[in-house]
Amino acid sequence: MGQSFVQPGPPTAIPKPAGIFDPVARALEAVGDRWTLVLVLVLVRQLLGGPRGFQELRQRTGITPRVLSGRLRELVSIGLVETQSMGSRSLYALTEQGRSLEAVVVAIGRWWIQRGLQLLGVDGRRFTETSAQSVIESLPFMVREERARGVDLTFEIRLEGPGGGVWSVRVHDGTCSVSPGFAEGADVRYTADAPVWCGVALGLVDARETFRRGLMTKEGGRAALDHFFHQVPSAETSEETTR
């Protein structure tokens, strides 16, 4: 005889939570309430870049000390994060289980860049004071995979003024990786003030105009960084989307 199963109730019956098999709901339930989930994914996103200290996580996320401390304790207790010692410093790092959430974090980030910004009518002018570091470290979410396939280019970005620094950005076969520091043998080097470069990277400032006015310089090959990345929609585009 075949195996028997419990027969479903009438179509109008509302099942109890225990009677529903929903992998998405069960996964979110395991992490916690909706605000816990948001903070968990934000922290995982930051720790994907490597181990970080408590104060660095505060600076990168803006989470209050009490909430951050509590969330980190929870992540350690469920095995997504572990503590590491580096001299006198205590750092937080993702475990193998924590790193397994990378695909989830990347999918959410790419959806927001590629669909969410326009769908929600987000006005890019709200990001005019965004730090250069946060923009550069978001480039992996902004890469245009179709344009980056088969490509192998390394860009060096040298930014001056408040929030400035030097970063290496590699576009490789549909992906993007970012690391701090100079890029040996970079194909293209950009130099600009941090706010100017952020405006260009986000699509809020016309790149050709910044070159014409001498606000940004470019050395090396002809490849353009903005060709390979999605940009924030203009205010006009956002307004048209929400009408």
CA distances from 32 to 159, 217, 238 (A): 40, 48, 33
Give the 3-state secondary structure of residue 58.
helix
Highest mean pLDDT among 38-42, 128-132, 201-205, 208-212: 208-212
What is the rounded average pLDDT for all residues in the chain?
86
Label residue 236 by pLDDT band (50, 70, 90). Answer: low
pLDDT in the model for residue 21: 77
pLDDT at 124: 76
- d(CA 205, CA 124) in angstroms, rounded, equals 11
pLDDT band at 240 (very low <50, low <70, confident <90, very high): very low
Question: Parallel, antiparallel, or unpaired: how do β-strands 175-180 and 188-193 relate?
Answer: unpaired
Strands (E) across 108-164 are located at 152-160
Cα–Cα distance, 136 to 170 (Å, whole number): 11
Question: Domain 17-99 adopts which CATH fold?
Answer: Arc Repressor Mutant, subunit A (1.10.10)
Q: Which residues pair with 192 in a beta bridge?
A: 159, 216
Burial of 81 (0-12, 13-18, 19+ CB in 10 A): buried
Asked if the model's pLDDT at residue 34 lies above 60, the reply is no
Q: Which of 122-126, 149-153, 221-225 has the highest mean pLDDT?
A: 149-153
Cα three-residue angle 159-161-165, rounded to 5 degrees: 40
Whole-model pTM: value is 0.79
pLDDT at 31 over 80: no
Q: Tell me which CATH code domain 129-228 carries.
A: 3.30.1050.10
pLDDT for 243: 44
Contact (Cβ atoms closer than 8 angstroms) between residue 98 and residue 75: yes
What pLDDT is stored for residue 88 in this prediction? 86
Evaluate if residue 35 carries a pLDDT over 80: no
Per the CB < 8 A criterion, the answer to whether 233 and 204 are in contact is no
What is the domain partition of the chain in residue ranges?
A: 17-99, 129-228
Alpha-carbon dihedral angle through residues 180, 142, 104, 150, given to the nearest 10 degrees: -90
Please compute the mean of the pLDDT values over residues 1-21 and round it to a whole number.
63
pLDDT of residue 11: 59
Which residue did the predictor score with more confidence, 28 or 199? 199
Span 45-103, pLDDT tens digits: 999 999 999 999 999 998 999 999 999 999 999 999 999 998 889 999 999 999 999 99
Q: Percent of the chain, pLDDT > 70?
A: 85
